Amino acid sequence: MPKPNNSTAPLPFPILIGDIGGTNARFSILTDAYAEPKQFPNVRTADFATIDEAIQQGVLDKTAVQPRSAILAVAGPINDDEIPLTNCDWVVRPKTMIEGLGMEDVLVVNDFEAQALAVAALSDENRERIGDATGDMIASRVVLGPGTGLGVGGLVHAQHSWIPVPGEGGHVDLGPRSKRDYQIFPHIETIEGRVSAEQILCGRGLVNLYNAICVVDGIQPTMKDPADITSHALAGSDKAAIETVSLFATYLGRVAGDMAMVFMARGGVYLSGGISQKILPALKRPEFRLAFEDKAPHTALLRTIPTYVVTHPLAALAGLSSYARMPANFGVSTEGRRWRR
């Protein structure tokens, strides 16, 4: 019978690496500590009833290499043997996975722990710098990822190790500051009376913000898809969409600056996810960095902290693979999150 295990011993190869988001799941298999990962096509979570079915049909049925263990990054808190995902219907059940998929060892971590692991050693070709602050200081870092939701992860550097810090930072309060904010915020959809950062800084948040702007300006909204809003904004073809993306960049800058101060992230703040990459031209305009640095009395500190957009197409998988190869370099907690046969 599989049981929880807090061992920090390396997982046995081959290792299935999985990044399970709200919309898409990405998988690879690492055959040993030196091999390049074997990649598999992305899986849409809506196409499979369970993650076990997705792994069986999307990975195991397509390769002769059968993994002995798995490291899975999931979008949601990990509190028990059954781990529901925040933004899709899948439930990760490591015990069932071990019994049904023939694995010996399963470790489950938060999805933004995986993103944080990735930014420990991200090369210049896999990131795009925003603003003038430079440097590759070996110091704590933060990663934020507006996507299906808003993920936040910290990466603390201490005692020569990188220690990923999971959390639910995307649900911090986000409030108005400018005159325009005070016009718009009363029309943002709330959760039990409050506006969390995720209510604006994600795909559905873009639509929430766009709709609020339309209400304030007395115009009929014509777009329901976040991709349409960003496309029209970047093309300069719709006034409300342009303001939506501009304010999105501003609010993302505010939250990114807050997280930089929480973690004292002198090593940089990294923006991951598809939205960040898609609106990169907007993030390079002044609004993002101005909001990021506008943290009196610590403006001078924020000006020294670099900000980047992660352009690596599979950053979370790369981060998990780094950990799988060299677990001693990382302080990844396994307590309550590892199951062995």
DSSP reduced 3-state for 211: helix
Domain boundaries, the chain: 3-111+315-340, 123-310
**143-195 tens-digit pLDDT:** 999 988 898 999 999 988 999 998 889 999 999 999 999 999 999 999 999 99
Question: Radius of gyration of the chain from Cα atoms?
Answer: 20
pTM: 0.88
Please, which residues bridge with residue 19 across strands?
Answer: 26, 73
Q: Both tokens of residue 17?
A: 């690496």
Residue 21 annotated as part of some ligand binding site: yes
Using pLDDT thresholds of 50, 70 and 90, give the confidence band for residue 6: low
**83-115 tens-digit pLDDT:** 998 778 899 999 999 999 999 999 999 888 898
Peptide bond between residue 77 and the one before it cis (omega within 30 degrees of 0): no
Residue 19 annotated as part of some ligand binding site: yes
Beta strands in the chain (DSSP E): 3-4, 15-20, 24-30, 38-39, 43-44, 69-74, 83-84, 91-92, 105-110, 127-130, 141-146, 150-158, 161-165, 269-271, 307-310, 338-340
Residue 20 annotated as part of some ligand binding site: yes
Exposure on the CB side of residue 326, measured as CA atoms within 13 A: 12
Residue 23 annotated as part of some ligand binding site: yes
Which one-letter DSSP state was computed for residue 266? T
The CATH architecture one would assign to domain 123-310 is 3-Layer(aba) Sandwich (3.40)
**296-321 tens-digit pLDDT:** 999 999 999 999 999 998 999 999 99
Write out the DSSP string of 154-210.
EEEEETTEEEEE---GGGSB----SHHHHHHGGGS--BTTB-BGGGTSSHHHHHHHH
**242-298 tens-digit pLDDT:** 999 999 999 999 999 999 999 999 999 999 988 999 999 999 999 999 999 999 999
CB neighbours (10 Å) of residue 48? 18
CATH code of the region 3-111+315-340: 3.30.420.40
Place of tokens 């390396």: 10
More confident residue, 111 or 18: 18
